[in-house]
Amino acid sequence: MNLVFISPNFPTYYWNFCKSLRERGVTVLGIGDAPYDDLVSETRESLVEYYRVNNLQNYDEVYRAMGFFIGKYGRIDYIESQNEFWLELEAKLREDFNIHHGVRPKELEVMKYKSKMKEIYKKANVPTARYKVFKNDEELYEFCKEVGFPIVVKPDNGVGATSTYKLKNKKQVSEFLTSWDRAVSFIAEEFVNGHVETFDGITDSKANILICTSHVMMQSIMDIVNEGGDTSFYGQIVEGSDIKEVGTRVVKAFDARQKFFHFEFFRLDKDKEGLGKKGDLVGLEVNMRAPGAYIPDMMNYSYNANVYDIFADMLIYDHCFIEPKQQYCIGYAGRRNGLKYKHHSQQIRMKYKNQLISYEIVPEALSAAMANQVYLLRAKNEQEIKRMIRYVLEKDKE
């Protein structure tokens, strides 16, 4: 089996995907724009060969790299990146090189455009916020009149919380319209009072879920990016939960086959007419790739398993060889450079020496949403993990 991994060097820990595949006999080939000598040793050791292009966004260069690999190694069976930014590149390469496994450009639309995602959520009987893909100023003002303030505007085809804004009044709408790049299609949504909960996992070729988990966001990612605050969330036990039941319906509705998936929902913090009662789930977005922010590793710690191995076994054998059982709640406490915290690193390490499972410095390119320094923590229940996160992020009031 031959597999091409696009940009295997970023995020750095994605060498884990390549390593698990290569250990199982897959010929793992990398295409990226980083110099070979800049790759971490784990990435270099996990690839059979690496082809450097000057710019991954230059399709002709990537096309030539694919041609080189096919000429040398034969037919390519899979193309992966696990990165939302490269999903369209993956799809085009699959179509142009007639690669049978994976999404083609036409199928990608419901996975990339937020407006089209809502249609599939409806198919799964999951409510979503009212929205409008507006083409001019008048349409946006009409939508504001219909749903009231605040509203949220963001690119219809966008990655993460980039260029996402909460507009609270007409003045802010006017300011947005003044700076809006009209070449970019934007969607407006009614504001939902709720917090984000994810549903993350891996499916086989029949869209059966092999392993899954859910993470509760303790702040809004939109606010984190726009205001530069801390980032914190934790994994919750999914067995017997409503998010597993609803998430499974969404997996089937999106026909998510042979994928790592990352779905986002709002959990309503108060009753919302037309959407549901406090505590109900509302569809937000879907991402057909591995969740970011070290969540794959958090899944590993939660299950005492290896999701990279599970993903590799799924691609090769269409089977999971273990019976995953979730045992721990894993917490993510992300500190922001420049803020003053009450407890220094040594205090945290001493207090949670048996429960602190990892400390990471986040690459600058990812820090807007993920913060700068991350503590991953482990506990048996949600109450304990939330207390631990609050301790790590407690501010120095002096």
Choice among 18-22, 27-31, 216-220, 390-394 with the minimum mean pLDDT? 216-220
Give the angle subtended at the CA of 310 by the CAs of 41 and 235, to the nearest 5°.
90
Instruction: Please write the tens of the pLDDT for every residue from 163-193.
Output: 889 999 999 999 999 999 899 999 999 999 9
Instruction: For Cα atoms 170, 174, 175, give the angle at the middle one, nearest 5 degrees.
Output: 120
Split at pLDDT 50, 70, 90, the class of 398 is: low
Q: Is the pLDDT of residue 376 over 70?
A: yes
Q: Which two tokens stand for residue 389?
A: 């996160």
Q: Which of 188-197, 320-329, 366-375 has the lowest mean pLDDT?
A: 366-375
For 127-148, the pLDDT digits (tens) are: 999 999 999 999 999 999 999 9
Q: What is the pLDDT of residues 84-115, one digit of tens each?
A: 899 999 999 999 999 999 999 988 888 889 99
State the architecture of 130-190 in CATH terms. Answer: 2-Layer Sandwich (3.30)
Topology of the domain covering 2-110 = Rossmann fold (3.40.50)
Assess contact for 32 and 59: CB atoms under 8 A.
no
CA atoms within a 13 Å half-sphere pointing along the CA-CB vector of 178: 6
Is the confidence at residue 219, as pLDDT, over 90? no
Q: Give the model confidence (pLDDT) of 245-264 as tens digits.
A: 999 999 999 999 999 999 99
Q: How far is CA 380 from CA 43, 80, 240, 391, 396, in A?
A: 33, 34, 17, 17, 28
- If you search the block for the tokens 């609270």, which residue do you land on? 168
Question: What pLDDT score does 161 carry?
Answer: 58
User: Which residue's entry shows tokens 């070449």?
Assistant: 183
Do domains 2-110 and 194-393 share one topology? The answer is no
Q: What is the pLDDT of residues 34-77, one digit of tens each?
A: 999 999 999 999 999 999 999 999 999 999 999 999 999 999 99
Q: Where are the domains of the chain?
A: 2-110, 130-190, 194-393
**CA atoms of 1 and 21, how far apart (whole Å):** 10
- 194-393: CATH topology is D-amino Acid Aminotransferase; Chain A, domain 1 (3.30.470)
Instruction: State the pLDDT at residue 139.
Output: 96
Burial zone of 46 (CB within 10 Å; 0-12 exposed, 13-18 middle, 19+ buried): buried
